[in-house]
């Protein structure tokens, strides 16, 4: 990830704190951001042309930092099972991360407030997040090392199996269905098993 200026970093962190405080993206104003960052409103406009640009860049920055943190943790885990368990812990501890991911989805898909150019930039940044590719490649490599995956199973199928299970786990945290009465701990045990079944 590219270095972020010490003057810009507090602006990004202010956006994330506002989300963590329960504010919705459309409610956030530049004055809220500047107040939370402890700077003048004019200072924000020295670096950004609009609220949309600030929020876009802040969300991209936050996800990049969190992915780097997760990569560092996973480097110390050798097996596919250990890596899966660590990702689930990371997901459970990162409630604000879920909020940010949901915010990114809303911004890039159904927000009328965000300028087209900002949506395009965010989508381009998402496509370029090397951290996601490195993280998934390390999972795929560990999966192939630890599990007798047939040679005929291509990496894109492993990618899909992994993403679908972790995506389902993330979505389950937003559900209050009685069907999930077994709890998230039981669900955690299924993630690894389901991936193995899907690729064997």
Decide if 97 is inside a domain.
Answer: yes
Question: CA–CA separation, 47 vs 129, rounded Å?
Answer: 23
Judge whether 73 lies within some domain. Answer: yes
Residue 4 inside a domain? The answer is no
**Does 3 reside within a domain?**
no
Does the residue 1 lie in any domain? Answer: no
Instruction: Please indicate whether residue 80 or residue 65 has the higher confidence score (pLDDT).
Output: 80
Return all residues near 29 (Cβ < 8 A) that are at least 6 apart: 51
d(CA 2, CA 38): 24
Structural contact between residues 57 and 11, judged by C-beta atoms closer than 8 angstroms: no
Alpha helix (H) ranges present in the chain?
9-20, 30-37, 41-47, 51-75, 80-93, 95-109, 116-128, 130-146, 155-172, 184-199
Residue-wise pLDDT tens digits, 11-50: 999 998 888 888 877 788 999 999 999 999 999 999 998 8
pLDDT in tens, 152-199: 999 999 999 998 998 888 777 666 666 665 666 777 878 999 999 999
Q: Please state which of the ranges 3-7, 49-53, 68-72, 108-112 shows the lowest mean pLDDT.
A: 108-112
CATH number at 56 reads 1.10.357.10
What per-residue confidence (pLDDT) applies to 8?
Answer: 92
3-state helix, strand, coil in the chain (%, to 5): 75, 0, 25
Residue labelled with tokens 């506002």 = 18
Query: Per the domain annotation, does 131 fall within a domain?
Result: yes
- Tell me how far apart the alpha carbons of residues 72 and 155 are, in angstroms, rounded to a whole number: 23
Give the per-residue pLDDT at 102. 55
Domain range enclosing 96? 9-199
Q: What is the pLDDT of residue 120?
A: 61
- Are the beta carbons of 191 and 88 closer than 8 angstroms? yes
pLDDT of residue 95: 55
Residue 73's pLDDT is what?
84
Both tokens of residue 12? 């990004």
Asked whether residue 41 is assigned to any structural domain, the reply reads yes
Q: What confidence score (pLDDT) does residue 71 get?
A: 85
102-120 confidence digits (pLDDT tens)? 555 555 555 555 555 555 6
Mean local confidence (pLDDT), 131-135: 78
At a CB cut-off of 8 Å and minimum separation 6, what does 55 contact? Answer: 15, 25, 28, 107
User: How many structural domains are present in the chain?
Assistant: 1
Rounded mean pLDDT of 67-74?
Answer: 84
Q: Which two tokens stand for residue 127?
A: 């496509």
Mean pLDDT of 57-68: 81
Give the dihedral of Cα atoms 119, 120, 122, 123; nearest 10 deg.
110
122 or 54, greater pLDDT: 54
């Amino acid at each position: 990830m590219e270095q972020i200026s010490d003057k810009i970093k507090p602006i990004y962190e202010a956006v994330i704190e506002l989300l963590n405080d329960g504010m919705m993206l459309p409610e956030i104003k530049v004055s809220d951001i500047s107040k939370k960052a402890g700077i003048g409103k004019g200072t924000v406009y020295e670096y950004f042309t609009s609220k949309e640009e600030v929020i876009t860049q802040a969300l991209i920055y936050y996800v990049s930092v969190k992915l780097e943190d997760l990569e560092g943790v996973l480097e110390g885990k050798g097996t596919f099972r250990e890596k899966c368990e660590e990702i689930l812990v990371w997901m459970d501890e990162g409630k604000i991360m879920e909020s940010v991911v949901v915010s990114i989805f809303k911004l890039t898909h159904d927000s009328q407030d965000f300028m087209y150019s900002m949506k395009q930039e965010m989508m381009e940044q998402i496509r370029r997040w090397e951290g996601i590719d490195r993280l998934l490649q390390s999972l795929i490599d560990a999966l192939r090392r630890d599990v007798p995956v047939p040679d005929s199973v291509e990496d894109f199928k492993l990618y899909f199996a992994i993403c679908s299970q972790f995506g389902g786990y993330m979505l389950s945290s937003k559900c209050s269905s009685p069907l999930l009465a077994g709890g998230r701990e039981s669900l955690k045990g299924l993630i690894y098993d389901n991936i193995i079944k899907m690729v064997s």
